[in-house]
Structure 1
Amino acid sequence: MSALGGGLWFSMWAVYLTSVKGIPAASMGLAMGLGGGAGLLAAVPVGALADRLGARRVFIAVSVARGLLVLLFLFTDDFWSLLVAAALFTASETSGRGVKVTLIYLLMPGHRRLTVLAQARVVQHITYAAGAGAAAWVLSNGTAGAYYGAVAVVSLCAVLSAGVLIGLPPTPPVPPARRSSGTRAVRDLPFLSLMSTTALLSLCWPLLSSGLPLWLKYQTTAPVWLAPVTVVVSSLFIALFQVRVTRQGENLKGAIRSTRKAGAALAVCCLLFAAAAWPAPPILSSLVVLAGLTAHIYGELHYVASRWGLSLRLMRRDAEGEYQGLAASTEGAVATVGPALITTLVTGALVGGWGVLAVIFVAAAAPTPALCRRALRAGGGSRASVG
């Protein structure tokens, strides 16, 4: 249910805030960016709270909070009110992602954890697409009432998802004698470094949603409508193959291999998208873009698998919520700056921008083996495990 609301909200919020609430686009972008960045700071403390109170209890609370906080956007009409709403809503969004992974980790037996995470992502993509379809109706309707009703639906979806969670088995809190101080994850420099570098691979998402449409429109002969088609095709292949690919990350060596595959494939994707700008008939340019999409899908599948495998294998026991909060915040930070970075590179440096992105993807994956060895040496036997 929450993914349905997410697909609805994230497909319409920019138009809603500018056309209905009347906030200038520049002010909106700055407020959402700054507010989103501030909201990321909540992920680690909320994760630590999940360790202290139980992951299920905290996830329910975060889900309800997300449903209530999205209603703040009904009352935003200037920069400052939007800044506050964005910070609070992003805090609940990012915190929820970390606690969700923690909850699945604690509820599932070792051999099922990554599979269940992958299955959850498949369901999430399907329901997210349904939400995006509902947003298309809202956008075509264009009335203020339709937008306000959509915000209410987003809120309701989050609250209903919290109701479903009540039926899950409780997850006991970490006993007081074994609790972390709440800063254990951020002081674990090998883990922090690993999550920060591999998080750069999540630039694959704004690459497809922000960079490719602009590239198609202004630099290639391929039709611009190919951009939404790539999103649909990508979602389809994720639904078909995420579970299978994720199994490769069930041990640390497999997760490292998946990281390398992700970095290399996403670099190839960038080079192919750049090549689509060469003078060519629309059909040939479109085929080059689709070849780049193939590499993108392969890279994204392996990135997600590696991210789960690395973060679950290398987090510390009895601080799972805190560590997953840190993992969510590093990925969230990239999501915050990603669209602006991608847009700047693609529209400013053109083909050279795609080359820079290719280097970033390769460089993000390169230190993974060394950082994993450092993390294992630093953690000794206190690291958790997937299985």
Structure 2
Amino acid sequence: MDKRRIVRRLLTGQGVNGFGDGLWFSIWAIYLTQIRHIPAGNMGLAMGIGGLVGLLAAVPIGVAAERRGPREVLCAVIVLRGLAMVAYVFVGGFWSLLVVTTFFSAVQSSGVGVRVTLVYGLMPAEDRVRVLAQGRVVQHIAYAAGAGGAMLVLASGEPAVFVAAVLIDALALFLTAALTMIVPPVAPVPRERRSSGMQALRDLPYVAIMGTTAVLSLCWALLATGLPLWIAQDTRAPLWSAGLAVVVSSVAIAVFQVRVSRRAVGIPEAVRASRISALALAACCAIFAVAAWTASPVLATCVIIAGMGAHVVGELYYVSSRWGLSLGLMAKNAEGQYQGVTASTEAAAVAMGPALVTALVTGLSQAGWMILAALFLLSTAPVAALARRAARDGFRAGAVDHRSAQSVKP
């Protein structure tokens, strides 16, 4: 199949999936508390526990992708996620929510790594990061469209409309699975070349790099949780400026993600991108802290927007560095489990992010922002040394791809 057609089908699937995600993640808190009548405390506890338990599935499902093929496993994961979405229609309390959320989180976090494995198998080395970046652009645009649909659901307030929205998200997932199955398959790893299912977890340099750089994913909790609370409690900026920050972020990602990702294809470039991300996010924290110093709403809003500029740079370079490091340093013929490690480390940081950011920003005020800035800077301090150590191993995908490219040169 022509490469362009493959990319179109991959991007179409991600667009449909992104629309459903934008719809669900914009209404789930209101749906569970006001429509399903689950107390907010119970909801938060169930979602938190379910999210952390669900992380355990990422590596085993990654191994399954190596054994059965990433296309088939990704399709199964998306279908299971759709069934979990249907199950949300029937939750009625803490325990049922915990069971459904654990199942949903397991297939959601696992699907991220399997999708990267599928792109890795379908695309030549020079196109992988670009296609991943294009997918993120499409996903963000579709996510915004889904969030727009969620505004209509929230405005109606009708239980039947909420239930219909949940089922629409499930339908979007089933359609995504169908679109996934029409891309070409990637052959499973032959039995004689399969590695141990625990190889990725025993690869300490790789686990360390993925674990430390995952701290940079706190940028999402910073935007979704920390900034709105900070604006409401400690600054004179209007609350709508938090919504403006999300719009600025989405537009910038759509415009610049592909361009920035071109700068993080190799391992040295990806290490450099992680440093840029850490510096930008640290600067973002410092700028947001300054917003509390002014009594002018206009000036406070301008400071928030300036901080968002730094945040956008940090997020763009974080995502790009993550792709470059994970694709270049994973082992050949063990792509699924390595991407499972990548997905689970990031998902763990994302799961803990809201509580950590809330505690620092609301509990320690400006000092909390400085602690966050220090965390971002420290997270990338060992990456260069760890990457040099890991790159010495000849089994890394980046080394294998480089040798393959050298062998075909005239």
Unaligned runs of 5+ in 2: 1-15, 403-410
Name whichever of 176-185 and 88-97 sits farther off. 176-185
1:170 corresponds to: 185
1:50-69, CA deviations, whole angstroms, 9 ceiling, x for partnerless residues? 00000111111111111111
Amino acid at match of 1:288: V
Counterpart of 2:397?
A: 384
Q: How does 1:106-255 map to 2 (within 5 A)?
A: 106-255=121-270
Instruction: Give the whole-Å Cα distance in 1 for the aligned partners of 2:224 and 2:238.
Output: 15
> Could you tell me which residue of structure 1 aligns to residue 327 of structure 2?
312
1:1-387 correspondence to structure 2 within 5 Å = 1-377=16-392, 380-385=393-398
Q: What is the Cα deviation at residue 82 of structure 1? A: 0.6
Deviation at 1:241, TM superposition (A): 0.5
Matches of 1:254 and 1:355 in 2, distance apart?
Answer: 27
Instruction: Please report how far the alpha carbon of residue 366 of structure 1 lies from its aligned counterpart in structure 2 after TM superposition.
Output: 1.1
**1:72 Cα deviation after fit:** 1.4
What's the CA shift string for 1:156-183, capped at 9, x where partnerless? 0000011111111111000001112211
Indicate the residue corresponding to 2:407 in structure 1.
none
Q: Deviations over 1:220-266 (max 9, x none)?
A: 01101000111011110100000010011111111011000000000
1:15 is matched by which residue type in structure 2?
I
Amino acid at match of 2:137: V
- Which amino acid counterpart does residue 384 of structure 1 have in structure 2? A
RMSD: 0.9
Q: Which whole-Å CA distance do the structure 2 matches of 1:175 and 1:334 have between them?
A: 34
Matched letter for residue 339 of structure 1: P
Residue deviations 1:263-300 (CA, integer Å, cap 9, x gap) = 00000000000000003311111111111000000110
Q: Secondary structure at the match of 2:31?
A: helix
User: Which one-letter code corresponds to 1:365 in the other structure?
Assistant: T
Q: Output one character per residue of 1:32-57: Cα deviation in whole Å (capped at 9) or x when no partner.
A: 00001001110100000000000111
TM-score (norm 1): 0.98
> How far is the alpha carbon of 1:309 from its aligned partner?
0.2
Shift of 1:116: 0.3
Aligned length: 385
- Give the Cα–Cα distance (whole angstroms) in 2 for the partners of residues 49 and 232 of structure 1: 38
* SS at 1:74 equivalent: coil
Give SS of 1:276's match. Answer: helix
Q: Give the Å deviation of 1:71.
A: 1.3
CA-CA distance at 1:73 after TM superposition: 1.0
| Structure 1 runs of 4+ with >6 Å offset | none
Q: CA deviation at 1:320?
A: 0.2
Structure 1 window deviating more from structure 2 (45-54 vs 75-84): it is 75-84
Which TM-score applies when normalising by structure 2? 0.93
Say which SS state the counterpart of residue 44 (structure 1) adopts.
Answer: helix
Q: Could you tell me how far 1:76 is from its partner in structure 2?
A: 1.1
Shift of 1:192: 0.5
Q: Deviations over 1:130-174 (max 9, x none)?
A: 111111111111111011001100100000011111111111000
Give the drift of 1:376: 2.1
| SS class of match (1:268) | helix
- The one-letter amino acid paired with 1:381 is G
Quick one: distance in 2 between partners of 1:180 and 1:129? 40
